[in-house]
Structure formats: C-alpha cells, structure tokens
Amino acid sequence: MSAALDAAAINAAAERIGGVVVATPLQISERLSAATGAQVYLKREDLQSVRSYKIRGAYNVMSMLTDAERAAGVVAASAGNHAQGVAYAARTMKINSRIYVPTSTPKQKRDRIRWHGGEFVELISVGDTYDAAAAAAQADVLETGATWIHAFDDTRTAAGQGTISKEIVEQLGQLPDLVIVPVGGGGAIAGMTTYLRSLSDQVRIVGVEPTGAVSLSAALVDGGPVTLSGIDPFVDGAAVKRIGGLGHQVMSQAGATVAAHPDLPPSATVHRGHEKLPAGSVHITHVDEGAICSAMLELYQNEGIIAEPAGALAVTALEDLPIEPGWTVVCLLSGGNNDVSRYGEVIERSLVHRGLKHYFLVDFPQEPGALRGFLNEVLGPDDDITLFEYVKRNNRETGAALVGVELGAPGGLSPLLDRMNSSRLICERLEPGSPAYRYLT
C-alpha cells in the first residue's frame, strides 16, 4: 500500500494510535543543558509500553490493514524494537504474526517480543544482521501471501514515527531550535522531518548513525541507497546495511549534508570539520560505538535512565555538535531495551574509547619474580591489571601473556609505554581495530 507522507498523514496517525501509544515525557536534562549551554530536553520514548517508539509505526500500519490482510497474517523483520511493536499490535488486534530477528538480537528483546505477542507471535531468529532477517521475512511473504509490515520503508510506518515530532511541539508549546534523531533504517527521521518541515523551514535537524553502520550517509553521498559491505552490529537498533528508499528520499529532498567518514568517498554533500548548523539545516553525522557506551553509562549513573545503544545515539552526538548557547534542543531517546548482560561489553567499549583500557602482549622471562618485576617497575601507581592470560612454556626462555591494563587517567598511557620500553620485557601494544585485538578481546 502506498500513501503520502505528509502532515495530514501524521495527524491522522496520531488520532489512530492515540488510545494505545503513550504521550511520553519531554524532560529537561540539567546535566546536558549545563554541558552545552542550551536547554536540552530528552524525548523519553524508552517509556513506551514496548520501551521504544517503534510501536507508533507498527500500530499505525496494522490498524490500517483490510480484513483480508489481517486474515492472511503479518510478517515483519526487526532488530527487536519494531518486532515488539508488531507483537503488541498482533495480540491487541488478534492477528497472527511471524517475526524474523537477527541471531544477534539480545535475549532481553527476544523475550519481550514473545511476551508482548503471546500466542499470536512466532519468533524466528535468522542471519546475523537486520538485512539478513529482512530477506528471510520477504521470502516468507512471497511464499505465504502474508502481509508485510516494514520496520521503516513504508510511509504509514514513517507517519506513525512522525507523531513524535507532533508531541514534541505540543509539549514545548513552541518549535525547538534543534532536534536530534537516531538513524537506523530512516523511518523515524523521515516522519519527524516531514512534520517539522510542514510547520517551519527554520528548525535544525540532525540525524545520528553509529560509525559502524552509516547507511544513510553512504546513500546521500552516492545519490541513492547502497548496501554496505559490512557493519558493526553492536548498536543493534540502528545496525542496517541499506537505508530505506523513503528515508533517503526525504533526507535528500531536505538537502541533508553528511559528516566526513573514512569509508565515504569525497562529495559535495560531505562536511569536513565543525561547521555551524544554520537555521533550517539538515545534517547527518555519526558517533563512535565506544562514545555511545560512555553516554549510556552517564545516562544510567546520572539520570537513572536505562538506554539501549541506539537509544543513546542522539545524546552521544551532543558533545561534537556546534550547539549555540540558548538553543532549545530535543534529543530523541529512542529505546530502553538493553539486556543487562551486555553491560560488561558496554563498560569495556567505554573504557577503550576514553583511553583508559589497553591490551598488551608481554614476553615474560621464565624465571621467578618476573611478574613481580612487571608490577613494580612497569605499572603506574594508579594502573590496574584487569586481564592476565599466561601459559608457561618449559621449552622456551620466555612466555607470552595477554595483559589488560586499566589506567587511572588517559594521560597515563605515554608514561606506561616509556616504562615498558625501558624494561627488559618485550611488550607489544594491541591497537584497537587490529585483527589481533579483535581476536584476543
């Protein structure tokens, strides 16, 4: 089904989903406001019944299905949050559904999908990315004639997500100066941009992708959606290899510019450096996965907010954007479906990003006191060993150990390296991103 994506469609979606979707709080963040000099608000979509905004689009689409389409059942693909919206709607409307998710989808999300859908959902894990799950779901649709509920590349889905902008304006009582939106498949930013542009051409809009999955940026540089050769699946809610055609179309028509990225070719649309954000500008940027982890931990420790990686994208971007004092800024906190078992990796990535965690291969002499010498002569007073894996080899004079070191401060790395070079030990630093680093950690 094809329908226009405009303010009228978004207003109609708001009426359609109003009895189901929560009007989530728009909360001022004193911490982020003080850090930027702006008035920074968090749009708390993590407080939806399914802990993300995805219920808006899913419920809007499914409430518009014909009787025949409902009878055929529905099929969806999702990294987890859209699936929960579909599952919730399926149980509410008593529509049988089959939902495909990547095998990398956290257990917490898979459990919540089953809980929301009950007897009306069949959950199928396939492939290691959203795109692989989507391909399996589309094959299902072709074989069974079920109704396809797209996570983002459908004007009805985008209209549902666009209701977030409508709520923001109503809650503020005015137009914001800047709205920051996480980007995965592009449905949310398409709907939200459409609504904001229907009211004014002066609102600034920034879309934020994880550095390891810049599908919208690549599409804007290339002139159309392209399939990325590989992505980092850590930010599962935004790890999409190919942006939706709708998201690209809306952003392209809005004149979006793109932040420089090492994997993007030179283009007139690419910004290099920290240009200002003029009134009415639309800009797509990206943030490192480690920085996202740091933002997640800060949200938890300071505001008590449990954000999933994609949910923290907008907040993470605040640090690098040229925000002017006095602006009214809204960050979409898009979801809170984070599996507690992932916090070990979250902390690890944050420490590496902040320059506090480092790994080394150290050749120790096969003699008593070698480790004590390392502790006394090489480690600084505030440094700590967090990992030590060592196998003694009796037929060799030295034995290699993998050593993880957490520094007391980022500036401690250079003195540590100097002490290593001055010692009689052979120490090799494993650089983040190198094959050895990925293998050993």
User: Catalytic site residues?
Assistant: 54, 334
Question: Using N-to-C axis directions, what is the helix angle for 155-172 and 187-199, rounded to 10°?
Answer: 50
Q: Say whether 441 sits in a helix, a strand or coil.
A: coil
**Which pair of structure tokens corresponds to residue 144?**
């069974």
- 236 within 8 A of 131, measured Cβ to Cβ: no
Rounded to 5°, the CA angle 169-175-177 comes to 130
Cβ neighbors of 235 (< 8 A, separation 6 or more) are 210, 212, 213, 289, 292, 309, 310, 313
Cα–Cα distance for residue pair 209/211, rounded to 1 Å: 6
Cβ neighbors of 430 (< 8 A, separation 6 or more) are 358, 359, 360, 361, 436, 437, 440, 441
| Beta-bridge partner residues of 52 | 335
**Which pair of structure tokens corresponds to residue 169?**
């304006």
Cβ neighbors of 91 (< 8 A, separation 6 or more) are 116, 117, 118, 119, 120, 121
Pairing mode of beta strands 282-287, 328-333: unpaired
Question: Using N-to-C axis directions, what is the helix angle for 343-353 and 289-298, rounded to 10°?
Answer: 110
- Side by side, the strands of the sheet bearing 357-365 are 384-390, 398-406, 357-365, 426-430
Secondary structure (H, E, C), 333-344: ECECCCCHHHHH
Provide, for the chain, the percentages of residues in helix, strand and coil under a 3-state DSSP scheme, each rounded to the nearest 5: 45, 20, 35
Name which of 113, 39, 81 is nearest 310 in CA terms.
Answer: 81
Name which of 16, 140, 119 is nearest 72 in CA terms.
Answer: 140
**Which pair of structure tokens corresponds to residue 435?**
């094959």
Cβ neighbors of 355 (< 8 A, separation 6 or more) are 407, 410, 413
